[in-house]
């Protein structure tokens, strides 16, 4: 985006992805490739905020340009995924470009490198990336709510698509130890290996799966946050009793869940609702149709949370 033009970008997209009878698609065929390459991911620049970049931009200039380029590229090929150039996920650059360029982008890129000469600070430094992911997700949500538009247009006035985070540069790297202008070749230690382990744990913890994707009220709940089938909280009472509170919001599916409770531990079970009840059941007719069901469970690894139920599990943890 810095030294190139929008027409050049459109030409590259046509060359790589078009199956039409057009100049650049025919040029690809002439060069020996009949079928389109179907390149899916296209980044709208790389680290455009950096002083080392030829064509460095302000956040205002970049946001305006990225929005127009995104519009044009999606008109040519709506199937592509566009990656917005972010910074570290927590900067004002990230906030501004998301607020002003979100309509046509699919991912927001962030880059973080960590390192420290001392072992413990070195190993825990990747936790900054975890916080950056959380902050970036919030900035995406805020931009979607504030923009109040849809792509493509719908009857609702919020952005329907939810951009994800593209963490496409990360590592343990210390500039003074491995200068970039000298190849950035690091001499890694065990401490660095442990730091990479923390990096990978961050990515696993921040991955998402198994969420509800249907209609929500208000609409932005489903489009700005994940909605798990099991809504869970936990607390420890003053006497040391562990309380696990679980709502299975599914109308149709029991959910078998692995619980890390010592085998054979006596667990008190309090449940409201469940498989034999209907969502429309009520106590308002004078009969106590829905009531607390009490039971005990001898812990055995997996517990089945029944569909459309609230379950409270209470137990005392024993330690060997």
Residue 120 confidence (pLDDT): 79
> Are 90 and 119 members of one domain?
yes
Q: Which residue has the higher pLDDT, 139 or 274?
A: 139
Query: What is residue 211's DSSP assignment?
Result: B
pLDDT tens sequence across 165-211: 999 999 998 878 877 778 778 778 788 888 888 898 888 788 764 56
CA distances from 209 to 116, 204, 227, 229 (A): 33, 11, 10, 10
Asked if 247 contacts 228 with a C-beta cutoff of 8 angstroms, the reply is: no
Count of CB atoms within 10 A of residue 145's CB?
14
Distance CA 65, CA 59 (A): 10
Lowest-confidence region among 87-96, 155-164, 260-269, 294-303: 155-164
> Are 311 and 235 members of one domain?
yes
CA 232 to chain centre: 19
Residue 96 sits at the vertex; the CA angle it makes with 94 and 100, to the nearest 5 degrees, is: 120
Asked if pLDDT for residue 87 goes beyond 90, the answer is yes
Look at residue 190 and tell me if it is in a domain.
Answer: yes
> Are 53 and 127 members of one domain?
yes
Distance CA 130, CA 143 (A): 20
> Are 87 and 194 members of one domain?
yes
**CATH for 253:** 2.60.40.1180
Highest mean pLDDT among 102-106, 145-149, 199-203 belongs to: 102-106
Look at residue 8 and tell me if it is in a domain.
Answer: no
| CA-wise closest residue to 62 among 46, 48, 42 | 48
Asked if pLDDT for residue 14 goes beyond 60, the answer is yes
Residue where one domain finishes, among candidates 224, 241, 273: 224
> Are 210 and 243 members of one domain?
no
Helix, strand and coil percent figures for the chain, each rounded to 5: 30, 20, 45
Asked if pLDDT for residue 307 goes beyond 70, the answer is yes
Asked if 266 contacts 296 with a C-beta cutoff of 8 angstroms, the reply is: yes
Look at residue 139 and tell me if it is in a domain.
Answer: yes
* Number of structural domains the chain divides into: 2
Residue 151 confidence (pLDDT): 46
> Are 134 and 268 members of one domain?
no
Give 250's contacts (C-beta < 8 A, 6+ positions apart): 229, 307, 308
Residue 269 confidence (pLDDT): 96
**pLDDT classification of 36: cutoffs 50, 70, 90:** very high
pLDDT tens sequence across 249-280: 888 889 999 999 999 999 999 998 888 888 78
Which residues constitute the domain of residue 201? 40-224
**pLDDT classification of 223: cutoffs 50, 70, 90:** low
Look at residue 145 and tell me if it is in a domain.
Answer: yes
Chain-wide mean pLDDT for the chain?
88
CA-based max dimension of the chain = 80
Residues of the chain above pLDDT 70, percent:
89
pLDDT tens sequence across 45-73: 999 999 999 999 999 999 999 999 999 99
Count of CB atoms within 10 A of residue 95's CB?
20
Look at residue 21 and tell me if it is in a domain.
Answer: no
Residue where one domain finishes, among candidates 179, 200, 224: 224
What is the value of pTM for the model shown? Answer: 0.71
Asked if 112 contacts 132 with a C-beta cutoff of 8 angstroms, the reply is: yes
Residue where one domain finishes, among candidates 224, 242, 262: 224
**pLDDT classification of 244: cutoffs 50, 70, 90:** very high
> Are 270 and 149 members of one domain?
no
> Are 129 and 252 members of one domain?
no
CA 117 to chain centre: 31
> Are 246 and 99 members of one domain?
no
Cα distance between the two ends of the chain: 61
Average pLDDT over residues 131-151: 84
Distance CA 10, CA 302 (A): 54
Asked if pLDDT for residue 155 goes beyond 60, the answer is no
**pLDDT classification of 135: cutoffs 50, 70, 90:** very high
> Are 217 and 100 members of one domain?
yes
Average pLDDT over residues 131-159: 75
Distance CA 53, CA 56 (A): 5
> Are 66 and 149 members of one domain?
yes
**CATH for 211:** 3.20.20.80
Average pLDDT over residues 73-81: 97
Look at residue 4 and tell me if it is in a domain.
Answer: no
Tell the burial category of 207 from Cβ atoms under 10 Å away from its Cβ (0-12, 13-18, 19+). exposed
> Are 234 and 277 members of one domain?
yes
């Amino acid at each position: 985006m810095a030294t190139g033009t929008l027409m050049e970008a459109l030409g590259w997209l046509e060359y790589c992805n078009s199956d039409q009878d057009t100049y650049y698609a025919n040029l690809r065929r002439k060069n020996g490739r009949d079928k389109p390459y179907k390149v899916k991911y296209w980044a709208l620049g790389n680290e455009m905020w950096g002083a080392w970049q030829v064509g460095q931009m302000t956040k205002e200039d970049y946001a305006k340009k990225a929005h127009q380029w995104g519009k044009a590229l999606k008109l040519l090929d709506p199937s592509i995924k566009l990656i917005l150039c972010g910074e570290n996920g927590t900067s004002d650059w990230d906030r501004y470009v998301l607020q002003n360029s979100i309509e046509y982008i699919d991912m927001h890129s962030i880059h973080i490198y960590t390192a420290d000469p001392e072992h413990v600070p070195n190993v825990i430094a990747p936790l900054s990336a975890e916080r950056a992911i959380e902050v970036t997700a919030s900035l995406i949500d805020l931009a979607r709510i504030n923009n109040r538009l849809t792509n493509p247009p719908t009857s609702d006035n919020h952005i329907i698509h939810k951009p994800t985070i593209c963490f496409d540069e990360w590592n343990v790297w210390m500039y003074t130890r491995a200068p970039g202008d000298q190849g950035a070749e690091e001499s890694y230690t065990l401490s660095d290996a442990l730091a990479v382990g923390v990096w990978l744990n961050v990515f696993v913890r921040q991955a998402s799966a198994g969420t509800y994707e249907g209609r929500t009220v208000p609409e932005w709940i489903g489009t700005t946050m994940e909605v798990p089938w099991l809504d869970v909280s936990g607390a420890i009472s003053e006497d040391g009793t562990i309380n696990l509170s679980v709502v299975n919001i599914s109308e149709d599916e029991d959910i078998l869940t692995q619980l890390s409770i010592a085998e054979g531990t006596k667990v008190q079970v309090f449940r409201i609702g469940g498989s034999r009840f209907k969502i429309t059941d009520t106590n308002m007719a004078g009969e106590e149709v829905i009531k607390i069901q009490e039971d005990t469970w001898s812990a055995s690894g997996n517990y089945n949370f029944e569909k459309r139920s609230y379950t409270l599990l209470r137990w005392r943890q024993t330690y060997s």
